[in-house]
Amino acid sequence: MPDNPLLQPWTSPFGVPPFALIQPEHFPPAFDQAMAEHRAEIAAIAEAAATPSFANTVAALEGAGRLLDRVRSCFFNLVSSQASDALQAVERDYAPRLARHRTEVALNPALFARIGALHAGRDALALAPDERRLLERMQTGLVRAGAALEPAVRARMAEISTRLAELHTAFGQNVLQDENDWQMLLAEADLAGLPDFARDAAREAARERGLADGYVITLSRSSVEPFLTFSARRDLRERAWRGWVARGSHAGTRDNRPLISDILALRAERARMLGHGDYAQWRLADNMAREPAAVARLLHQVWEPAKRQVEAERAVLASMASQAGHNGPLAAWDWRHWAEQACRAQHDFDESLLKPYFPLEGMLRAAFDTAARLFGVSFTERHDIPLYHPDVRAFEMLGADGAHRGLFLLDSFARAGKRSGAWMSSYRVAESFAGVVTPIIVNNNNIAKATPALLSFDEARTLFHEFGHALHGLLSTARYPSQSGTAVLSDFVEFPSQVLEHWLTVPETLRSHARHHASGEPLPETLLARLLASRNFGQGFATVEFVSSALIDLELHTHPAPETLDLEAFETAFLASIGMPDAIGLRHRPAHFQHLFAGGGYAAGYYTYLWAEVLDADAFDAFEATGNAFDPALAAGLRDIYEAGDTRDPMELYRAFRGRDPEVTPLLRKRGLLAG
């Protein structure tokens, strides 16, 4: 395909993909050519006659596979944000091929021999600190991939990687299809309790689905959670809840439950071949936590006080519901609804009154202003950048000197074909070892589309969270792409995102940017005070909901015989064993737990959000102690972390910033879980 745009130079501003020219049929030949080129590059490095050196082996590997990186990043960003039947067919075909290709590279014995020789003699190589860490991490990665195993075992490792890619792809596509297929059509009479913003979003969802009349609730979190919170119709809340938690578990060709057993069994087999007792042991050996016992200690340190707190919350909600005529115990589709009523009663705080002051534009300005004040960067919208969907916007990031530092793409709204949740990704990472390359970073959110788009406080916090990930990529000064931005240990990757969330609740941030979408009036001081006073409200529920999912992740990945797993029975027994409070469901049931099973990125690693929260709460404590949330010295130290990527050990980076190891007390205080 000689005119394939994926194989031509990209001449658009900043080298953004020419999205308008790219069609699904362009990807297969582009992948084929890119993998062939990469194989040739790897062969040249691995089979070189010259004695291994950092330049001809490690640096050469960093420069190899550029076409493949470009095609792969473009494809997987599009299939996540703008999936079509044609793109998903390519994904089913090429995900296992790409996994096979990665495994071939990682298990190349000649390449491993060269890296091993350099690693063994690293003390004599006079490497710069980032070069030494790159070599050490490369050696560790190859060993963990199985490069040191016998040939027959390496062959089995390759088979496992290929099969896992097929299973991950099927799992994610099944969940997306369930989300696309389900809708709850409502008439005007069904909207009791819903505030205007929720009605407007449901009306827009109906229009997007081609319905001239009525309102639609979808399984996007930005649609279903407000409905569960505000709807006065308990029967409809139950219907929405059951649709939400059933994703991935419908009998038939899209049932994810048998896929989970296969995925877990293959992961466990791979871990055993690498000398570990289970997958969690293998995974955590290369994380800050180091072992499952350390993760379990942290989770249970939070779990027990969270259960005590949630029981106190339940008593309040049950009493309120009973007084309003609710008979019987609270169910999972009741909790959010009565929690909202209790928050109004206890703090005179109504989420629906807050949303008009949280328009998307205002919260985006707040995020940009925070980055400017902490890190000296600015963002300017560009209208000359090719984009893959009309909802997407492009912003150029400039340094304090006015020079271009990176491009930030923002894809804000939920739509069919876009996977649920929120995430950051990249079309290109920053690097400088063979010439300066600036990053192209994308944030995906799933806000309900409306005019204007009004955010809940949680959605505003998510915007800050994902923007923190984006800044981690945009600010990177790492020389080598393997160390750039978010390419850090997986239980450190959430720290830069979570710490930025704190600046949303800085009063001067809210006073400056939380303004009424119509009048421009600032958030009233009384409402601001109620918002800040209510921050710990419902933290028992939020903590239990999260930690239970982290615990089931750990339990699944330490299961002694996952191939025999009866998932429904396992889930029931697990919830009983941890004393899961009634009326609170898992935040992510296994059959739609995409963090774990639509890929391996968070497998045996969902705990990382809480691990990082220990760091982020402790870090923001330092700012609060100065009385200045934008303290210049601390901001400079924080910027060092964002810039460093994986050039230094994460705990070393944190100690340099904080002057000591992190402490857990600020997290417990932040969540309102300290005794007394």
End-to-end distance of the chain based on CA atoms, in angstroms?
A: 69
Check if the beta carbon of residue 430 is closer than 8 Å to that of residue 185: no
SS3 (DSSP) at 396: strand
Catalytic residue numbers read 466
Integer Cα distance of 674 and 676 in angstroms: 6
Which positions ≥6 away from 240 have C-beta within 8 Å? Answer: 184, 217, 224, 227, 228, 231, 333
- The reported pLDDT for the residue numbered 158 is 96
Extract the tokens encoding 326: 């609710």
Question: What does 365-399 look like in DSSP terms, one character per residue?
Answer: HHHHHHHHHHH--EEEEESSS--SSTT-EEEEEE-
pLDDT for 348? 81
* Structural domains in the chain, sorted by start: 5-106+108-145 (1.20.1050.40), 182-245 (no CATH), 356-485 (3.40.390.10)
**Phi, psi values for residue 407, rounded to 5°:** -120, 135
pLDDT of residue 1: 59
Compute the distance between CA of residue 165 and CA of residue 100 in angstroms, rounded to an integer. 9
Q: CA 164 to CA 490: how far, in whole Å?
A: 20
Q: What are the residues whose beta carbons fall under 8 Å from the beta carbon of 122, sequence distance 6 or more?
A: 132, 135, 136
Asked if 445 and 412 touch (Cβ cutoff 8 Å), the reply is yes
Supply the pLDDT for residue 675: 67
Neighbours of 289 (CB within 10 A): 24
Alpha-carbon gap, residue 184 to 205, rounded angstroms:
11
User: How many Cα atoms within 13 Å fall on the side-chain side of residue 215?
Assistant: 22
Cβ pair 455, 622 in contact under 8 A: no
Give, in degrees to the nearest 5, the angle at Cα 470 between 466 and 476.
Answer: 150
Rounded Cα distance between 246 and 412, Å, is 26
The mean pLDDT values, 10 residues at a time, for the chain of 676 residues are: 89 97 98 98 98 98 98 98 97 98 97 98 97 98 97 96 98 96 96 94 93 94 94 97 96 95 98 97 96 96 94 94 92 95 86 91 98 98 98 98 98 93 97 96 95 93 98 98 97 97 97 97 94 87 96 97 94 96 91 96 96 97 97 98 98 97 92 76
Q: Where are the alpha helices (DSSP H) in 234-355?
A: 234-245, 257-273, 279-284, 292-323, 335-347, 351-354
Distance CA 59, CA 632 (A): 36
For 185, phi and psi rounded to 5 degrees? -85, 130
CA atoms within 13 Å, Cβ hemisphere of 303: 19
Type of residue found at 62: E
